[in-house]
Amino acid sequence: MRHFVLAAAVALGATAAAADDMVTYTTSESFDDVAFGIESAIVGAGLVVDHVSHVGEMLERTRTDVGSDKVLFTVADVYSFCSATISRQVMEADPMNIVFCPYDIFVAELADAPGEVIVGYRQFPEGPMQQVQQLLDGIVKEALGE
């Protein structure tokens, strides 16, 4: 499967786009393949997935309860995890960097763009928190086979 993800990401040109507050990558890989790649890359980095939030399911389940008829995602999950080593380094630099922990990577397929999977994470401020941004970017790129 890993070779499939790599070949498809290269062939389809997974792209990166940075907004003011997040970094996203888009691919035509299946959601399941990308999600598996994210989880595998997190574990492969010696980290533990603390929690997977099934945001897409929650929003769909509660859609009518909150008075909406708009379907946002085909599927969307957020992977939460932390790195003891990097977290210690960034919090020794500034204990208030606790606000950024745990770290999250989302994988989503928008309902209005089926077949296109977006993977991303929040951008972090300059300085020590760039270590976290590099970690997350490396995980996402590994999952996409870049």
DSSP classification of residue 93: H
Q: Which residues contact 37 (CB under 8 A, 6 or more apart)?
A: 2, 5, 29, 142, 143, 144, 145
Superfamily name with CATH number, domain 2-143: TT1751-like domain (3.30.310.70)
Domain boundaries, the chain: 2-143
Query: Dihedrals φ, ψ of 102, to 5°?
Result: -80, 170
- Is residue 23 classed as helix, strand or coil in its secondary structure? strand
- Confidence check: pLDDT of 142 > 80: yes
pLDDT in tens, 70-124: 999 999 999 999 999 999 999 999 999 999 999 999 999 999 999 999 999 999 9
Q: pLDDT, tens digit, for every residue of 49-73?
A: 999 999 999 999 999 999 999 999 9
Confirm whether pTM is higher than 0.95.
Answer: no
CA nearest to 56, candidates 32, 72, 38: 72
Residues with Cβ within 8 Å of residue 128, at least 6 apart in sequence: 89, 90, 93, 94, 97
